[in-house]
Amino acid sequence: MGQITLTAPTPPSRRRAIAPVPRPDRQFYAQTQAFGRFGVRWFDPQIMPMEHAHGHIELNWLTAGTMDYVIDGKPVRVPAERLVMFWAGIPHQTIALDRGPADDARQCNVYLPLDSFLHMQNLGKLTETMMGGGVVALEPGTIGANTLTRWYQDYRSGHAERTDILKEEIALMLRRAAVMGWEPLMTPWIESEGSSTRAATPLRYVVAMIRHILENLNEPLRAEDVAKVVGLHPNYALNLFTEVMRVPMHKFVVRMRLIRARALLFEGNLSIENVAFESGFSALSQFYVQFRNAYGLTPRQMRAHYLR
C-alpha cells in the first residue's frame, strides 16, 4: 500500500510550533512595550496567577467549556465557540476554567496591536466600546476553529503577504461586526462619570486624549492643546498618558502617524512627500528617519517591495 499523508489536526495539536520569521517592523514592537506584537496562538486554557496588561486588543475563542476573567475587578465569563474581545491594556486575569465535558478545551487567542486596531476604519461604536473598557462576544458563527487554524498557519508561515492578508481578514471581520452588532459581556465603563473603580478616572482622561490625537493626526499636536481637551496641566497630562499607555505621548503620536503613512503608501496614489504631510509629518527628513527606524525600510523601498 502507498503511504498515507495525514492532514494537520483542527485545532492545532499541542506540539511546539515553529516561530514565525521576523518581519522588519517587529523591531519596533520589541523596543516599545506599549504596543504588543501581532500574533495568533493556540494553547491549553490556563488560570493566571496574577493580573497583567499588554498593548493589544485581545480576541479569545474556546473550543469548549467556559473561562472566567476578572477585568479591573469586574467578572466576565467567556463562552465556548464565541469570539470575545477586549482591550488588554486594562488589567485582567483568568481565575476559573471549565474545560468542557471531555476536559479537552483548547483556546485560540488573536493579539491585535492596539495601534493597528485604532487605525482601522469604519468600526465606530466598536472602537468606542473597546476603548471604554467594554467586553463583547461577536455573533455566533462569526468564526470557527477551521478559520482560526488557517489564520494560525498563515501567521506561522513567515510569509509577509499571507500575514498581511490575514490582518485584512481580521479588519473585515471586525468591520462586519460593527455593522451586525455583538453581545455585550461587560458594558463600557471608563467614560462613565459615575464610575468609581480604581482605573476609571485616569483611563477616562487618556481615552479622551487618544480620541483627540486620532481626530487631529495630520495637524500639529502640542501637549498643551491635548491636555486642554481634558482640563489637565500639560505636565500632569503627559505623565498620566505615559503611566496608562506605557509610552510617551509624542511616541504614540509618531506611531499612529507611521501607520497612517504605511496605509497611504499602499494605496499608491500619493507621492512620498504628500504621504508624509497627510500623515502629520512636517519635515520629510524626519518622516524618513522615523519610518526606517520603525519598519526597517525607507518609504520608497516599502512601496517598491509590496507594490511591485
What is the mean predicted confidence (pLDDT) over 111-133? 88
pLDDT of residue 308: 54
Instruction: Say whether both 213 and 128 belong to one domain.
Output: no
pLDDT at 35: 65
The reply to whether 299 falls in a domain is yes
How many separate domains does the chain show? 3
Is the domain of 133 the same as that of 206? no
Domain co-membership, 137 together with 264: no
Q: Assess if residue 95 is contained within a domain.
A: yes
In a domain? residue 73: yes
Mean pLDDT, the chain, rounded, equals: 84
Q: How far is residue 82's CA from residue 61's CA, in Å, rounded to a whole number?
A: 6
Mark whether 302 and 209 lie in a shared domain: no
pLDDT digits (tens, 9 = 90+) for 251-271: 889 988 998 898 888 776 789
Q: Mapping DSSP to helix (H, G, I), strand (E, B) and coil, where does residue 74 land?
A: strand
| The three three-digit cell numbers of residue 188, written as one number | 463600557
**Residues 255, 241 within the same domain:** no
pLDDT band at 34 (very low <50, low <70, confident <90, very high): low
**160 and 224 assigned to the same domain:** no
Is residue 132 located within the same domain as residue 158? Answer: yes
Sequence-distant (≥ 6) Cβ neighbours of residue 281 within 8 angstroms: 257, 261, 287, 290
CATH of the domain at 296: 1.10.10.60
CA dist., res. 297 & res. 280, Å (int): 19
The top-scoring range by mean pLDDT among 201-205, 264-268, 277-281 is 277-281
Residue 33's pLDDT band, with cuts at 50, 70 and 90, is: low
What per-residue confidence (pLDDT) applies to 10? Answer: 54
My answer on whether 172 and 281 are in the same domain is no
- The answer on 115 and 238 residing in a single domain is no
| pLDDT number for residue 7 | 41
Q: Kindly indicate the confidence band of residue 44, based on its pLDDT and cuts at 50, 70 and 90.
A: very high
- Residue 194 falls inside a structural domain: no
- Quickly state the pLDDT bin for 194 (edges 50, 70, 90): very low
Q: What is the per-residue pLDDT for 145? A: 95
| Same domain membership, residue 272 and residue 160 | no
Regarding whether 141 and 51 lie in a shared domain, the answer is yes
Confidence of residue 167 (pLDDT cuts 50, 70, 90): very high
Query: Does the structure show a pLDDT above 80 at 15?
Result: no
Name the domain boundary from 186, 208, 229.
186
Q: Judge whether 267 lies within some domain.
A: yes
Q: Is the pLDDT of residue 101 over 80?
A: yes
Look at residue 9 and give its three-state secondary structure: coil
Domain holding 236, by residue range, is 200-246
CATH code for the domain of 91 = 2.60.120
- Please tell me whether residues 236 and 125 are part of one structural domain: no
110's enclosing H/E stretch is strand 107-113
Q: Which of 144, 159, 186 is the C-terminal boundary of a domain?
A: 186
In a domain, 18, yes or no: no
